[in-house]
Chain A
Amino acid sequence: MLNNNELSMDVSGSCNEKIMRIYDTSFYCTTEELPENYLIEVLPVNKSTWILFHVSRDFSLVLNSSNLHYKKVTEASSLIDLPDGIYEFKQSIKPNIHTLVQFYHLRTTSLLNKLRHSWNRLISGKCDISRIDFLANRDRLREIDEYLLAAKYEVEECLDKKKGKELYDFAKKLLEQYTNKCKC
């Protein structure tokens, strides 16, 4: 049963720093049988223990700082931001050992929000700068966005965590430099 299914999942591109929504994008060869023992395992940033979730076909699962064991809380208002970095996922159905697939996800939400803030500030005309400086700043922010995108591709598609992390750290450094020194 279900041997011809193709398991896959994706991460929703939300700006919300407190949550991460993952959802099922698998291909199922039958519409009648439900996958058994459908498991999602998550290894969050800076953690050494995999966290297990039981899901069902076409799942949509919202991860947060509480269910990822960063800080257990009982109210949504007490959730803390999920850190940027590499999250690893395992997805499997019965017989799990034979269907297990693993994915990397580089979360960039926090840095992307900071970049978006800088971009909006520049575009809105709040920075009292010349046209030449405006164009130079615009190019700097575009450059940072490219580094962030490359970091995601390096981790998620080239599966090179080290290079991806290096690209992310470089983008972060450039944005700090932009914030501190570029008069906007």
Chain B
Amino acid sequence: MTLQRNSSNSTQINVNAKFAELKYEQLLSEKYFIETCFSKIDESYDNKQKLKDMFISIRFNTCK
């Protein structure tokens, strides 16, 4: 039996997987610091900026 991934395009799978992994890292860094309306402790936004760029790439399917 083969466990299949749902997308057939390997480039798209890689981008989607990277996006998911970065988002999971963000979850780990944020989950203990959430206060009212997501106010955050001082943090770097590097990963967040990367995620925004990747998100647009995924939505418009233009990643190389």
Which residues of A come within 8 Å of B, CB atoms? Answer: 8, 10, 90, 100-105, 136, 140, 143, 146-147, 149-151, 153-154, 156-159, 163-164, 166-167, 170, 174, 177-178, 181-182
Contact = CB atoms under 8 A, between A and B. Distances in A.
- Overall SS of chain B's interface: helix
B63 interface: no
B20 A102 contact: no
Contacts of A166: 24, 27
Contacts of A157: 5-7, 13, 16-17, 20
Interface string B1-43: 1111111100001001101110110010001001011100000
Contacts of A164: 20
A136 B40 CA distance: 13
B26 to A, nearest CB: 8
Given A174-B38, A181-B36, A150 B19 contact: yes
Contacts of A167: 20, 23-24, 27
Nearest to A102: B3
B37 A103 contact: no
A26 to B, nearest CB: 11
B4 A150 contact: no
Contacts of B19: 149-150, 153
B24 A182 contact: no
A54 B58 CA distance: 35
Nearest to B12: A157
A154 B31 CA distance: 18
